[in-house]
Structure 1
Amino acid sequence: MDDSRKPGRESLLERAAQRMRERTREQGKAEESRKAASAADEARRRRQQRLIERAAEQLRAHASPSSAAGPATQPAEGAGAASATAAATAAAPAPRATPSAKAAPGRPPVKKRSRYQELDVDRLRRLGFITPDAGPNTTSEEFRIIKRPILLKAFAQGQHRIPNGNLVLVTSCRPGDGKTFCAINLALSIALEQDVRVLLVDADFPKPEALRTLGITATKGLMDAVLDPEVDLADCLIRTNVRNLTVLPAGRQHNLTPELLTSARMGNILNEIAQRYPDRIVIFDCAPVLASSVASALAMHTGQTAFVVEAERTTEQQIREGLNMLASCKHIGFILNKVRFLGPDRRFGAYYGYAYGR
């Protein structure tokens, strides 16, 4: 009898063939799962992008000259449950800035050196932040895409010029959406530019997080300069070892912070920042717009807003309510944050698009 026909050998061959059939079935199931994950990934990405595009379309629908000239307190169509008082506060005209005594002609400003603190660049890199010495990665590429339209609008000239276009508010609907992560990375990405400086302002006055995240300690900040005319803003600035990056702390806590932010003194300070440093982008890491009135107060002074939307968590209704609170800012962009990709084809996880309100 042929050895290959012996019962033991035949049983061994049958088991091998059975294993091969099982492996083929497993590979088929794995391929089906991969295709299903890729399809779900694509469907999720499209849903999130449509959500942003619908919000952007809502803003564009109100961008006609007639609506721009209409009452500033008229809420956007379809805006949700924001109260009439909050809407009026968000859309009220910014106070007219009056020249400060320190900026009077004939009195050259006294040059003062700001403080200096070292950032732990290795720690920031481990936390997922952009660092000057890191190679190309997904986060750095995403924020290169995000910052470009912001820079173009900040330095636009002629008929395209935006008042205070270099003042950029970063906010979100609710805590946990990742707006501080986005604000810091946006500032770090802009700091990589060769001809642009950036000032990161910790403007989440109810819960300042930006400086703590960066590992910076400070006492005086923006609110101290607003409260006390004797405090020079230059004394509150902190230079860092990251080229082109300076930070401004929030400063002391105050129960009238929203009212102070809409004061003439605050208007003067922000106008001074915008005009004294024409090559500087100022990023305000602000409180969530649905959790505090601080964002709507600061939006009166800033030329641009970067609205952070958390993928799969922020609802269209919340976006509408947030846009209603930011009605005084005419140039609002969206950052879609925390996008998940389940398939093997990794795409950029951020989406950025601009729209225009009243």
Structure 2
Amino acid sequence: MTEQSKIPLPPEGEGKEGKSLIERAGDAFGFGNFTPAPVPGKLADAPNRRVAKRAATQPGKAPATQSPADMSSAGDQGETTPAHDDKAAFSPPVPRIAFRAPPVAVDRGHLRESGLIEPDGPVTQLVEEFRIVKRQLLANMEKARKRGDGRAQRVLVCSPLPGEGKTFCATNLALAMAAEKDSEVLLVDADFAKPSILSLLGLQGGKGLMDALANAQIHVEDCVITTDIPGFFVLPAGSQTASDSEFLASGHTAEIFDRLTQGAPNRIVIFDSPPALAASPAAELAKYVSQALVVVRADQTGQSALEDTLSLLSTCPDIQLLLNAANFSPSGRRFGAYYGYGD
């Protein structure tokens, strides 16, 4: 140990008691030159923290919570700024687009002569067959709607080649669906080269789908024919053109098809398209529908034609086959006979 006697004593007169032992040790070992850092006369102000201002609560109400986005936008004074405006975020309901043309009578006798379903007529084998078809299609629509598919209400009726009964099936399907109590049906004649729905129903034509596609000034809903059959509407094909496929491929098409069902969740749109292997519009229309019903004739449609058709319509997420002109049923079902109206 260091002998304390070797530590020099402070000079006389330097304080009543002199330096302490530690101070004298510092002088002895040369620590006297080390001085503490200077202390400023005034310390800098501490930085403000952005603290969310606690909202005042009313009796009986829970305090409002605040998101991180709201807190990060607070000012230096502790006030908060909302992350969004509730009024701006609110979107009003989409207005319903209605078909306002005065009703036109459909000749029921002409429907019978054409072999079509007669509204409010007797229950026949034909009626029951299309009841089964529509039930499956309606179930698929509901599934597509739950998936959020904006095309859920649209159905394409097509066939591989001419003469296989696609227009006959599309019209009967539309008439069968119009009998639903909570739905209305729009039958669209999309066979622009050879339209036939108007003549099949005995209706007079005018402007139609192609006119709305070619001219943005024409509202498609103004071209729709309202019939005296409850819930049954018809959209004619419109003017003929050599650019029907190009018009369907334009960006204007999606807007037009959306208008057909805007604000009307109970409205079903059925497109009667040209044969897939005879004209290109069928493949374009398949992009805008959630279901495609391919009509194949039992005694006519070949396998290769069917395979080519399915390939062309592959952009449609759900394709089903409808067998037409089948005279033999393995199960022996005969719906019309059960109701007393069999052949």
What TM-score does the superposition give when structure 1 sets the normalisation length? Answer: 0.64
2:325 maps to 1:331: no
Q: Distance in 1 between matches of 2:275 and 2:195?
A: 12
**Residues matched between the structures, number:** 246
Match of 1:249 among 217, 236, 243: 236
Greater fraction of residues in helix = 1
- Tell me which amino acid in the other structure corresponds to 1:305: A
Structure possessing the higher radius of gyration over alpha carbons: 2
Residue equivalent to 2:284: 297
User: Per the alignment, do residues 124 and 110 of structure 1 end up closer, same or farther by CA in structure 2, a change over 3 Å counting?
Assistant: closer
Residue equivalent to 1:141: 128
Q: Distance in 2 between matches of 1:219 and 1:225?
A: 12
Match of 2:173 among 178, 186, 192: 186
User: Per the alignment, do residues 339 and 109 of structure 1 end up closer, same or farther by CA in structure 2, a change over 3 Å counting?
Assistant: closer
Residue equivalent to 1:68: none
1:201 is displaced (CA, Å) by: 0.3
Residue equivalent to 2:212: 225
User: Per the alignment, do residues 237 and 115 of structure 1 end up closer, same or farther by CA in structure 2, a change over 3 Å counting?
Assistant: farther
CA-based RMSD of the aligned residues comes to: 2.6
Contact 2:97-2:259 at 8 Å conserved across structures: no
2:250 maps to 1:263: yes
User: Per the alignment, do residues 296 and 118 of structure 1 end up closer, same or farther by CA in structure 2, a change over 3 Å counting?
Assistant: same
1:127 is displaced (CA, Å) by: 2.1
Q: Which has the higher contact order (CA 8 A, sep 6+)?
A: 1
User: Per the alignment, do residues 300 and 124 of structure 1 end up closer, same or farther by CA in structure 2, a change over 3 Å counting?
Assistant: same
1:147 is displaced (CA, Å) by: 0.5
Residue equivalent to 2:138: 151
1:155 is displaced (CA, Å) by: 2.8
Match of 1:305, SS?
A: strand
Contact 1:167-1:274 at 8 Å conserved across structures: no
Match of 2:111 among 116, 124, 147: 124
Query: Which is further off, 178-187 or 273-282?
Result: 273-282
Residue equivalent to 1:171: 158
1:172 is displaced (CA, Å) by: 0.1
1:117 is displaced (CA, Å) by: 1.6
1:173 is displaced (CA, Å) by: 0.7
1:229 is displaced (CA, Å) by: 1.3
Contact 2:160-2:301 at 8 Å conserved across structures: yes
- Tell me which amino acid in the other structure corresponds to 1:121: R
Unaligned runs of 5+ in 2: 1-90, 337-343
1:340 is displaced (CA, Å) by: 1.6
User: Per the alignment, do residues 212 and 228 of structure 1 end up closer, same or farther by CA in structure 2, a change over 3 Å counting?
Assistant: same
Match of 1:282 among 246, 259, 269: 269
1:233 is displaced (CA, Å) by: 1.4
User: Per the alignment, do residues 155 and 274 of structure 1 end up closer, same or farther by CA in structure 2, a change over 3 Å counting?
Assistant: farther
- Tell me which amino acid in the other structure corresponds to 1:123: H
Unaligned runs of 5+ in 1: 1-103, 350-358
Residue equivalent to 2:294: 307
Q: Distance in 1 between matches of 2:92 and 2:210?
A: 26
Q: Deviations over 1:36-64 (max 9, x none)?
A: xxxxxxxxxxxxxxxxxxxxxxxxxxxxx
Q: Distance in 2 between matches of 1:116 and 1:284?
A: 21
Instruction: Give % identity.
Output: 41
1:230 is displaced (CA, Å) by: 1.2
User: Per the alignment, do residues 106 and 302 of structure 1 end up closer, same or farther by CA in structure 2, a change over 3 Å counting?
Assistant: closer
1:158 is displaced (CA, Å) by: 6.7
Q: Distance in 2 between matches of 1:158 and 1:109?
A: 18
- Tell me which amino acid in the other structure corresponds to 1:145: I
Q: Distance in 2 between matches of 1:197 and 1:215?
A: 20
Residue equivalent to 2:74: none
1:227 is displaced (CA, Å) by: 1.1
Q: Distance in 2 between matches of 1:229 and 1:111?
A: 19
- Tell me which amino acid in the other structure corresponds to 1:250: A
1:188 is displaced (CA, Å) by: 0.2
Q: Distance in 1 between matches of 2:145 and 2:231?
A: 27
Residue equivalent to 2:9: none
Q: Distance in 2 between matches of 1:218 and 1:306?
A: 26
1:149 is displaced (CA, Å) by: 1.3
Q: Deviations over 1:68-88 (max 9, x none)?
A: xxxxxxxxxxxxxxxxxxxxx
